[in-house]
């Protein structure tokens, strides 16, 4: 068997699969609730800014960086600013 195949198999065994699965479950449940705190237009804006940044903040203008921070704060705090969801507060 080629060396690279053996190395790949060894690497797969080292992955903490329980943590990976736990992260997927969290993203699919609680993470979705956080993401849905944004409007569809805001979610599109986050995606567009993330693509434009290519993983580096310096690829965004100061205004774009500020807007991204504001959107992430909205995700974190919720639409009512308290950290809860709109449905829970109404």
Which residue ranges make up each domain of the chain? 3-83
Could you tell me if 38 and 86 are in contact, meaning their C-beta atoms sit under 8 angstroms apart?
A: no
Tell me the mean pLDDT in the region 35-41.
93
Q: Which of 5-14, 30-39, 56-65 has the lowest mean pLDDT?
A: 5-14
Distance CA 51, CA 60 (A): 10
pLDDT at 88: 46
Tell me the mean pLDDT in the region 25-36.
89
**Higher pLDDT, residue 86 or 25:** 25
């Amino acid at each position: 068997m080629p060396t690279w195949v053996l190395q790949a198999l060894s690497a797969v065994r080292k992955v903490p699969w329980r943590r990976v699965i736990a992260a997927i479950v969290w993203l699919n449940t609680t993470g979705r609730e956080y993401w849905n705190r944004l409007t569809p237009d805001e979610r599109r804006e986050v995606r567009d800014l993330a693509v434009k940044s290519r993983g580096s903040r310096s690829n965004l203008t100061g205004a774009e960086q500020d807007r991204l921070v504001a959107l992430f704060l909205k995700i974190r705090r919720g639409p009512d600013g308290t950290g809860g969801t709109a449905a829970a507060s109404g």
